[in-house]
């Protein structure tokens, strides 16, 4: 491997102003050996190293490796194969242990670190006992040695070291320089040092940026090798531990995001399960409504309110109609001993849709059924006798069943005209209203709406409840959309903060050969993982809460409705909603991650790596 700089000029632009840092500098580096770069502060030493590392591009001139100019569109491959860097400000990743910091860059470069080599290096640099520590627990000198060990472990042909002994005492500095000299037997080591005395002791190849010398030739025999980039396996697979550590390191932020979402998730699950449970309850109730298929029909013609035989025949012969009778009027005149009962009467046809609590459908004349409320209020049981007084005649009615009516609460009686005494029937028949049994209320209404008023109390209930539930569902959906937008804004802010905090880590990885798209993928993987954690934990907590609510029968105690909070089955089971929620959070966080990670390409890696 031969490294050459050919007529390199580097300037930085500040608006119209240009600052010249390196001017027409040419260097032929040796294939191995220790080269020192010296010069006063600001003379461009770090800039020179950054140019060699491919972190910065020259304004003019070329950086050549084995005779070929660096290809900046594939700079990651060059950085993986050739470069390791000891940074002036260490650039250790705070979330990783010393051991993980040591292997991270080698993994990115696709180099497997042998345990023996790791042990040799860490023992030589006296950092073996620190392997499980985090950077924040280390002194400046210890951090510097970890930075050095990390670079040695990469084992690349070129090692760049910016002030590698700056934070070390004299003894340690000499030991490090000894090791660098030893390492330089097989590698090219380029070291920046302010300690002129020390560096000249270990190297005769000095680049003095204050000397105005523009041409250095340390390699007398320039023999080029095949310019070959090492094939690196996917760094993402190898550095999964980075993701794990980041999640742990940011647990406080994740907990904060989670708490901010928890309210939304729980409120959504409760509202949705409440609406669904309520709707299920209403549907179950309506299934056993004794007047489910009973339709009342009256005429719109007020001059002739009674039905004619012809009109009755038309309706009777309609295929939509199951059976038809006149309405019987039991509104007043029902007594228990001397007490007149206030009852609402409903005409039913047969035993369909009736839920019996006791007794059975009438089978004898003048038998009626009552609901629970009537039984309770007037202390009635089956076979009890009531009497009905009309035109000073008394008829006995006996209770054949107590039934459940979820919809028409109040004190009611239910009777079938088949079991009403003919004589009584004659007296209470209302010829202006027909009671029809039919499953086809809507079709009948449409067909006869011109001439008749058509009422189905059951359907009215159903429609009003349906409207109510649809409105409630709309409110929940609006609530969900608004809170989700707010959540997304909040999550974006937090994820962006994470990215800002992580800029230096990402710069470090990028400048060591992590491809840009992989860096973005790494970040969006992390954010989607955060999203799925939030969705999953939120779902688990919401489900737990639902179970506790149902276990303690809270809905029964509060609203008299058992097991109200039941999530709807969307596809396979009632857990579908959680799967959707986890998916939504994962993909939303992934989206935010992808958007935020677009900024990675705008980062100024060289400046970020220089920040203390
Ligand atoms: N990315 C950058 N953008 C703008 N100016 C820069 C950038 N990097 C370096 N400079 C400027 O270039 C000059 C040389 O900087 P450099 O860091 O290479 O000096 P140095 O010799 O390493 O200094 P020191 O010994 O203090 O570390 C400085 O004036 C610095 O402000």
Nearest CA to ligand 1 atom 24: 41
Contact 444, 296 (CB under 8 A): no
Report whether residue 12 contacts ligand 1, using a CB cutoff of 6 Å. yes
At 3-56, the pLDDT tens digits run: 999 999 999 988 888 899 999 999 999 988 999 999 998 899 999 999 999 999
> Phi/psi at 433 (nearest 5 deg)?
-130, 130
Domains annotated on the chain, with CATH: 3-233 (3.40.50.300), 251-287+464-610 (no CATH), 329-434 (2.40.40)
Tell me the C-alpha distance between 435 and 449, whole Å: 16
Report whether residue 607 contacts ligand 1, using a CB cutoff of 6 Å. yes
Report whether residue 46 contacts ligand 1, using a CB cutoff of 6 Å. yes
Return the residue matching tokens 């309506």. 286
Q: Where in 329-376 does DSSP place strands (E)?
A: 334-336, 339-340, 344-348, 355-359, 367-371
Q: Rg of the chain's alpha carbons, rounded to an integer?
A: 44
CA of 51 to the centre of ligand 1 (A): 12
CA of 315 to the centre of ligand 1 (A): 99
pLDDT, block means (10 residues), the chain with 612 residues: 91 88 93 92 92 95 91 91 92 95 93 90 93 93 92 94 85 87 92 88 91 83 55 76 90 87 87 86 80 92 91 94 92 89 91 90 94 94 93 92 88 92 91 93 92 88 83 85 85 85 91 91 90 92 92 83 83 89 92 88 84 67
pLDDT of residue 229: 58
Report whether residue 39 contacts ligand 1, using a CB cutoff of 6 Å. yes
Buried b (16+ CB within 10 A) or exposed e, 287-316: ebbbbbbbbbbbbeeeeeeebeeebeeebe
CA of 502 to the centre of ligand 1 (A): 23
Nearest CA to ligand 1 atom 3: 12
pLDDT of residue 470: 85
Residue 409 buriedness (CB in 10 A; 0-12 / 13-18 / 19+): exposed
Return the residue matching tokens 């396996």. 233
CA of 48 to the centre of ligand 1 (A): 10
Nearest CA among 107, 250, 240 for reference residue 521: 240
Report whether residue 44 contacts ligand 1, using a CB cutoff of 6 Å. yes
Cβ-based neighbours of 372, under 8 Å, separated by 6 or more: 357, 402, 403, 404, 405
Report whether residue 141 contacts ligand 1, using a CB cutoff of 6 Å. no
pLDDT of residue 224: 54
Structure tokens at 17: 């102003």
Nearest CA among 125, 120, 136 for reference residue 173: 125
Q: Cα angle at 325 between 324 and 331, to 5 degrees?
A: 135
Tell me the C-alpha distance between 459 and 299, whole Å: 20
CA of 266 to the centre of ligand 1 (A): 54
Report whether residue 45 contacts ligand 1, using a CB cutoff of 6 Å. yes
ipTM of this complex:
0.96
CA of 46 to the centre of ligand 1 (A): 7
Report whether residue 507 contacts ligand 1, using a CB cutoff of 6 Å. no
Which atom of ligand 1 lies nearest, measured to the CA of 209? 21
Residue 55 buriedness (CB in 10 A; 0-12 / 13-18 / 19+): buried
């Amino acid at each position: 491997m031969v490294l050459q700089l050919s007529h390199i000029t580097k300037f930085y632009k500040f608006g119209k102003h240009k600052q010249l840092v390196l001017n027409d500098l040419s260097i032929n580096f040796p294939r191995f050996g220790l080269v020192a770069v010296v010069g006063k502060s600001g003379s461009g030493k770090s800039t020179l190293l950054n140019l060699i590392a491919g972190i910065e591009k020259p304004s003019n001139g070329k950086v050549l490796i084995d005779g070929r100019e660096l290809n900046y569109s594939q700079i990651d491959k060059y950085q993986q194969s050739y470069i390791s860097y000891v940074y002036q400000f260490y650039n250790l990743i705070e979330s990783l242990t010393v051991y993980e910091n040591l292997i991270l860059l080698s993994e990115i470069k696709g180099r497997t670190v042998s345990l023996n080599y790791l042990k040799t290096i860490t023992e030589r640099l006296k950092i073996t006992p620190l392997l499980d520590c985090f950077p924040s627990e280390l002194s400046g000198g210890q951090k510097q040695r970890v930075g050095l060990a990390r670079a040695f472990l990469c084992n690349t042909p070129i090692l760049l070291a910016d002030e590698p002994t700056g934070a070390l005492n004299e003894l340690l500095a000499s030991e490090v320089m000894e090791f660098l000299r030893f390492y330089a037997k097989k590698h090219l080591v380029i070291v920046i040092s302010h300690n002129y005395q020390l560096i000249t002791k270990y190297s005769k190849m000095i680049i003095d940026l204050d000397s105005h010398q523009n041409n250095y030739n340390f390699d007398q025999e320039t023999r080029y090798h095949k310019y070959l980039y090492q094939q690196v396996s996917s760094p993402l697979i190898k550095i999964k531990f980075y993701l794990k550590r980041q999640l742990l390191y940011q647990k406080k932020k994740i907990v904060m995001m989670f708490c901010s979402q928890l309210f939304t998730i729980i409120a959504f699950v409760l509202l949705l399960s409440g609406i669904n449970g309520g709707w299920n309850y209403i549907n179950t109730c309506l299934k056993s409504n004794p007047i489910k298929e009973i339709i009342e029909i009256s005429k719109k013609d007020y001059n002739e309110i009674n039905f004619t035989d012809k009109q009755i025949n038309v309706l009777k012969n309609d295929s939509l109609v199951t059976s038809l009778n006149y309405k019987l009027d039991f509104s007043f005149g029902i007594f228990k001993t001397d007490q007149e009962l206030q009852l609402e009467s409903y005409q039913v046809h047969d035993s369909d849709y009736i839920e019996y609590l006791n007794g059975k459908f009438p089978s004898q004349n003048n038998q009626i059924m009552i609901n629970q409320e009537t039984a309770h209020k007037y202390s009635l049981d089956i076979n009890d006798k009531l009497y009905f007084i009309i035109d000073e005649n008394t008829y006995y009615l006996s209770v054949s069943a107590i039934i459940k009516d979820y919809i028409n609460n109040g004190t009611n009686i239910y009777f079938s005209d088949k079991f009403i005494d003919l004589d009584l029937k004659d007296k209470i028949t209302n010829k202006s209203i027909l009671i029809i049994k039919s499953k086809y209320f809507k079709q009948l209404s449409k067909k006869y709406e011109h001439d008749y008023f058509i009422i189905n109390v059951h359907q009215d209930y159903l429609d009003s409840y349906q409207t109510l539930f649809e409105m409630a569902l709309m409110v929940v959906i609006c609530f969900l959309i608004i809170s989700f937008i707010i959540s997304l804004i909040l999550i974006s802010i937090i994820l962006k903060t994470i990215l800002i905090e992580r800029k230096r880590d990402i710069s470090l990885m990028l400048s060591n050969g992590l491809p840009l798209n992989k860096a973005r993928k790494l970040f969006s993987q992390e954010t989607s993982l955060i999203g799925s954690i939030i969705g999953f934990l939120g779902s688990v907590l919401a489900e737990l809460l639902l179970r506790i609510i149902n276990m303690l029968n809270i809905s029964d105690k509060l609203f008299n409705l058992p097991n109200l909070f039941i999530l709807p089955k969307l596809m396979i089971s009632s857990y579908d909603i959680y799967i959707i929620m986890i998916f939504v959070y994962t993909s939303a966080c992934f989206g935010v991650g992808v958007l935020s990670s677009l900024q990675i390409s705008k980062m100024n890696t060289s400046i970020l790596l220089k920040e203390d």
